[in-house]
């Protein structure tokens, strides 16, 4: 199993009361790579605006990934997930092919339909028919990344002989984060990988999500084994996660036990969102990976 981590890129993630700098993001990513982790992941939001809480916003996701690519030359680069409705589908495919090329074929294009209405309202983006718009975008992006010329007359988007030039150096894999029936069918139809999140243990909800993907694959005639399965784990500091049922505060051996269980369920990747972006947290994740890998040997 491959183990990845989300990187800090928002206010207060590295130091209380301070916006995370790119130097801090890069330092965290470099440490993760040195410790042997397999991938780094960004979040894609324009802002967070929740009632009763201070407004916040992370640095822009595509720019951050592009800047990290030469800094961490080995690990896979991904997003959980790029919001399809923030960028034109053709432009998003072009950006993905470019970043994949400049990183030496290390990008996995995670995309989703979006969910946080305040950022849509703030930036003048339509919030209606999110899944319908996503369905059009996903088909266009997948076909462009396969090297096709795309003609498309949809309800929300129009393309006339759109093509990626220069052609993609390889077919960048697409990951879709999904859980509802319609989104799972789109995943089974177009995606190379699937993500479900966030969890802290194997429970009935996680098993239900897996069954949902299996059923979607069967419905569209897709080989279940053809989709790379990834799961997001939220990790608290030891002793600090007791009130969060969707997270874990396990020590390294306990986290390794969870990795064993997830692999047995068919997951190829675990992506850890450590709420504390510290060297100690990374070392704990890396130690869990080491224990898990030794058990497999």
List the CATH number of the domain containing 212: 3.20.20.30
pLDDT score recorded for residue 46: 97
Structurally, the chain folds into a number of domains equal to: 1
Q: Does the pLDDT value for residue 205 go beyond 70?
A: yes
Q: What burial class does residue 271 get, using C-beta atoms within 10 Å of its C-beta: 0-12 exposed, 13-18 middle, 19+ buried?
A: buried
For the chain, give the number of residues.
297
Phi, psi of 230 (to 5 degrees): -125, 150
Q: Does the pLDDT value for residue 273 go beyond 70?
A: yes
| pLDDT per position as a tens digit, 132-152 | 999 999 999 999 999 999 999
Looking at residues 17-38, what average pLDDT do you find?
97
How many Å apart are CA 14 and CA 190, to the nearest integer? 36
Range of the domain at 246: 2-296
Say if CB 247 and CB 198 are below 8 A apart: yes
State how beta strands 158-162 and 150-153 pair.
Answer: antiparallel
pLDDT score recorded for residue 242: 65
Q: Which residues contact 19 (CB under 8 A, 6 or more apart)?
A: 10, 11
Q: Which residues contact 60 (CB under 8 A, 6 or more apart)?
A: none
| Percent of the chain residues past pLDDT 90, beyond the cut | 95
Q: Does the pLDDT value for residue 241 go beyond 80?
A: no
pLDDT score recorded for residue 82: 97
pLDDT, mean over the chain: 96
Looking at residues 206-215, what average pLDDT do you find?
98
- The SS3 assignment for 141 reads helix
How many Å apart are CA 57 and CA 46, to the nearest integer? 6
Q: Does the pLDDT value for residue 248 go beyond 90?
A: yes
pLDDT score recorded for residue 5: 98
**Of the candidate ranges 50-54, 70-74, 173-177, the one whose mean pLDDT is the lowest:** 50-54
* Structure letter (DSSP) for residue 72: S
The DSSP bridge partners found for residue 231 are 196, 270
Looking at residues 249-277, what average pLDDT do you find?
97
């Amino acid at each position: 199993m491959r183990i990845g981590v989300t990187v800090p890129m928002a206010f207060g993630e590295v130091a209380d009361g301070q916006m995370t700098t790119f130097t801090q993001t890069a330092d965290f990513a470099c440490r993760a790579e040195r410790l042997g982790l397999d991938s780094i992941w960004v979040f894609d939001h324009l802002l967070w605006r929740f009632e009763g809480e201070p407004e916040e916003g992370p640095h822009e996701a595509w720019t951050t990934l592009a800047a990290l690519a030469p800094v961490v030359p080995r690990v896979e680069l991904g997003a959980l997930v790029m919001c399809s409705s923030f960028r034109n589908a053709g432009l998003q495919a072009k950006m993905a092919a470019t970043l994949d090329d400049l990183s030496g074929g290390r990008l996995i294009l995670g995309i989703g339909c979006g969910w946080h209405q305040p950022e849509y309202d703030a930036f003048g983006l339509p919030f209606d028919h999110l899944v319908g718009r996503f369905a059009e975008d996903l088909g266009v992006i997948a076909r462009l990344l396969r090297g096709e010329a795309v003609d498309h007359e949809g309800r929300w988007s129009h393309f006339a002989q759109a093509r990626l030039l220069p052609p993609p150096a390889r077919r960048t894999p697409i990951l879709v984060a999904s859980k509802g029936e319609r989104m799972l069918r789109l995943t089974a139809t177009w995606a190379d990988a699937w993500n479900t999140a966030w969890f802290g243990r194997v429970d009935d909800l996680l098993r239900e999500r897996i069954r949902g993907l299996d059923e979607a694959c069967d419905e569209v005639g897709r080989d279940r084994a053809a989709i790379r399965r990834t799961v997001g784990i939220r990790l608290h500091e030891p002793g600090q996660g007791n009130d969060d049922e969707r997270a874990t505060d396990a020590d390294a051996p306990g986290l390794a036990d969870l990795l064993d269980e997830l692999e047995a369920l068919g997951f190829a990747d675990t992506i850890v969102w450590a709420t504390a972006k510290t060297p100690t947290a990374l070392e704990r994740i890396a130690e869990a990976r080491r224990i898990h890998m030794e058990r497999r040997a």
